């Protein structure tokens, strides 16, 4: 009897996992746009830095399970207009996550759709279900330039971009451990002049100098939303102090009190939140809010 109960429980759990997997894919978003799940040569992984896997504290994360996935998700919303220069929002997930988990848990596609912005969302697989901030190939000199070139070529081959269109403005968004690859991209990725905004979702664990150097040289908007318990509060306060000491204007507010117009008009934005670390992207639709206050054009409705 006990064996039969265990068997039924196993079947129940497996069926739940299969249903969850079936709920994710291009068909889920077909009414609102086109989701492409493909593999890039220029994706962060595999990479030589993780050929032998990665050890974190007492645990080992082998390469074949955590650093062999070159999946990249691209989402083109319905009504997207290609005006010759195509804008991208590239999001990097944090520790112990995947492309699928990020899109589902943080509703990135839904928030892009609701924002009405005329841009293509790109989400590459980072370290897969691993406690690791490495950006692999995207930390190399011009690694991000190669990545965007492959994204453009992929979209052109599928008829979603004109053959003579080029990359326009880029927004880099990262949650948690996603900060490291973004810092490398703005420093040496090869497209710093195209990067107009950087959004850090409880992600300022380090590399502050690289973010400031990029913003000060390009005039790009830097938004940092931080929590009390995520480990980013002290680094954020240090950055705010450094900017105010040198006389740079900043917006320091809470995520609920900051006015939309203030978000639009300030170059340096620091938002304190009472949310938890894993809630900062989607619980209050913060990703959508940042999109709505960005420089991205709206999708025109005829």
CATH number for 227: 3.40.50.1820
Clarify whether residues 93 and 203 are in a common domain. Answer: yes
pLDDT digits (tens, 9 = 90+) for 38-72: 999 999 999 999 999 999 999 999 999 999 999 99
Clarify whether residues 56 and 170 are in a common domain. Answer: yes
Q: Phi, psi at residue 256, to the nearest 5°?
A: -90, -20
Cβ atoms within 10 Å, residue 173: 24
pLDDT digits (tens, 9 = 90+) for 150-193: 999 999 999 999 999 999 999 999 999 999 999 999 999 999 99
In a domain, 302, yes or no: no
163: containing domain: 31-292
In a domain, 61, yes or no: yes
Q: Which residues contact 243 (CB under 8 A, 6 or more apart)?
A: 212, 250, 268
Clarify whether residues 17 and 105 are in a common domain. Answer: no
pLDDT average, residue stretch 76-94: 98
Clarify whether residues 162 and 140 are in a common domain. Answer: yes
pLDDT confidence of 302, banded at 50, 70, 90? Answer: low
Residue 96, sorted as left (phi over 0), alpha (psi -120 to 50) or beta, turns out to be left
Whole-number Å distance between alpha carbons of 148 and 117: 19
Task: Give the predicted TM-score (pTM) of the model.
Answer: 0.92
In a domain, 300, yes or no: no
């Amino acid at each position: 009897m006990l064996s039969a109960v265990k068997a039924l429980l196993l079947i129940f759990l497996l069926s739940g996992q299969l249903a969850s997997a079936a709920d994710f894919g291009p068909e889920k978003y077909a009414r609102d746009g086109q989701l492409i799940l493909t593999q890039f040569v220029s994706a962060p992984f595999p990479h030589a830095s993780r050929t032998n896997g990665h050890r974190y504290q007492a645990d080992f994360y082998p390469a074949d399970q955590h650093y062999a996935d070159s999946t990249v998700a691209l989402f083109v919303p319905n009504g997207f207009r290609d005006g010759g220069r195509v804008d991208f929002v590239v999001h990097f997930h944090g520790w112990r996550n995947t492309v699928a988990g990020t899109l589902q848990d943080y509703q990135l596609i839904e928030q892009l759709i609701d924002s009405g912005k005329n841009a293509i969302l790109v989400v590459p697989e980072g370290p897969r279900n691993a406690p690791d901030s490495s950006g692999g190939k995207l930390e190399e000199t011009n690694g991000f330039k190669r990545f965007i070139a492959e994204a453009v070529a992929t979209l052109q081959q599928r008829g979603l971009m004109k053959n003579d269109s080029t990359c326009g403005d880029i927004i880099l968004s990262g949650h948690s451990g996603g900060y490291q690859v973004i810092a490398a991209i703005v420093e040496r990725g090869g497209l710093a002049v195209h990067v107009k905004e950087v959004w850090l979702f409880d992600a300022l664990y380090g590399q502050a100098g690289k973010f400031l150097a990029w913003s000060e040289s390009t005039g790009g908007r830097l938004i940092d939303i931080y929590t009390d318990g995520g480990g980013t509060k002290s680094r954020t306060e240090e950055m705010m102090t450094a900017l105010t000491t040198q006389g740079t204007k900043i917006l320091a507010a809470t995520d609920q009190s900051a006015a939309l117009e203030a978000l639009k008009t300030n170059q340096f934005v620091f938002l304190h939140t009472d949310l938890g670390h894993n809630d900062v992207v989607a619980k209050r639709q913060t990703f959508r809010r940042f999109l709505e206050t960005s420089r991205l054009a709206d999708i025109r409705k005829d």
